[in-house]
Amino acid sequence: MATLKVPAHAPPSSEDAEQLRKAFEGWGTNEQMIIDILAYRNAAQRISIRKTYHEAYGEDLLKSLEKELSSDFERVVLLFTLDPAERDAHLVNEATKKPSSSSWVIMEVACARSSKELHYAKKYYHSRYKKSLEEDVAHHFSGDYRKFLVPLVSAYRYEGDEVNLSLAKSEAKILHEKISHKHYNDEEVIRILSTRSRAQLNATFNQYNSSVGNDISKDLKPESKDEFLKLMRDAIKCLTTPEDYFEKVLRQAINRIGTDDSAIIRVVATRAEVDMVRIKEAYQRRNSVLLEKAIAGDTSGDYKRMLLALIGAGDV
C-alpha cells in the first residue's frame, strides 16, 4: 500500500530529464521543480530519468543533484532518487562505517524488506563495493551484534501465508525456555528470528502469548538498559508490524531534543512507496496528531516540502 502519488500520465523521461537540467541552470537552482518531478515518479520512472539524463548530458543525475543541493534536502532527494536495491546497499555500506548504533539500519534492511528485495540489495552491494554485504556486516560488528545481524542479512524467508501450528507451539516453547533463563543470544533464538517467515513468526508469538500469558517483547525487556535486547525487540516489531516499528522511529526522531533528521529521511525515503499510508495511520493512533503536521512543525523550506510530498501530504 504505497502513498507516493504518481501522475496517471507522467511525462516521458526525456521531458523530465530536460526539465531537471533547466532546474540546474541559470542564477539559482529551481528546487521546486526538482521536488515536482522526483517526488512524484516511481522507482522505474526515476531509473529511466537517470538513464535518459546521462545519455543526454553525459553526467550522472545524482552528481548534478549533489552540485546543486545541500544539507538535509540534498540527502532526502538523493536517497529517494536511488533505485531501492541501490539505496539499501548504500544505507548498509554507510552504516558499516559508523558506530554500533548503526546496527538499527542493518536490522531494518534485513527485516523490513522482502526476501527478493534483500537479495537484490546484496547483489547490488557485491557489484558496487566488490565485497559481500554479509562480509562487511560481519567485519564491522562483534559479539552478540554480529551473532544476530549476520544471520538476519543472510536470510531468505518464505513469503507466503502458510503456517505450521505445531512448529509454532514448539518454537514458542523454545523461545520461552531460552528467554526465561536469559539466554537471549542463544543460537536457537537467533535461528527462529532469522529464518522463519513473517506469518510463521506471528503464529509463534501468538502461541508464546497464549501459553506464557505475556508478550515476548515484554519478556525481552529487563530492568537494566540493554541495547542488544532493544535491537532484538525492534527486530521482532519490524518483522511482524513494520508500520508500528517505523512509527516509533519517526516519533523518537521528532520528539527528541534536536530532530534526528537522518532517521526521518531514511524512513520517508525507504517507505514512501511501500507502506507510508499504514505508518501515517499508526502515527496518528499513537500520537493523536497527523504525521504531516509533526514533520511540518519540525522541518522547514525545500527539505520540508520534499518530505511532505513523499508522505503524500502536499504542503502544510
Domains for the chain: give ranges and CATH numbers. Answer: 13-69 (1.10.220.10), 84-156 (1.10.220.10), 165-240 (1.10.220.10), 242-316 (1.10.220.10)
Interior angle at CA 168, CA 165 and CA 170, nearest 5: 110
From its phi and psi, is residue 150 left (phi > 0), alpha (psi between -120 and 50) or beta? alpha
Instruction: Say what the pLDDT of residue 240 is.
Output: 96
pLDDT of the residue at 108: 97
Distance, in Å, from the CA atom of 297 to the CA atom of 124, rounded to the nearest integer, reads 37
Residue 178 and residue 184 in contact, taking contact as beta carbons nearer than 8 Å: yes
Spans of the chain below 70 pLDDT: 1-9, 100-101, 313-316
- CB neighbours of 207 closer than 8 A, spacing ≥ 6? 165, 168, 169, 171, 172
Contact call for residues 22 and 37 (beta carbons, < 8 A): no
For the entire predicted model, the pTM comes to: 0.94
Averaged confidence pLDDT in the chain = 94
Residue 28: per-residue pLDDT: 87
How far apart are the C-alpha atoms of 126 and 110, rounded to whole Å?
Answer: 16
Query: Is 121:109 a contact under the CB 8 Å cutoff?
Result: yes
Residues forming the annotated binding site? Answer: 24, 26, 28, 68, 254, 256, 258, 296, 298-299
Cell of residue 278, nine digits? 499504514
How many angstroms separate the CA atoms of 269 and 266, rounded?
5
Alpha carbon distance 269, 46 (integer Å):
13
C-alpha to C-alpha distance for 39 and 5, rounded to whole angstroms: 8
Annotated binding site for Ca(2+): 24, 26, 28, 68, 254, 256, 258, 296, 298-299
**DSSP structural state of residue 101:** G
Residue 82 φ then ψ, to 5°: -65, 150
Residue type for position 145: Y
Which pLDDT does position 1 carry in this prediction?
Answer: 45
> pLDDT at position 30, please?
97
Q: Which three cell numbers stand for residue 160?
A: 507466503
Sign, Cα dihedral of 93, 99, 105, 109 = positive
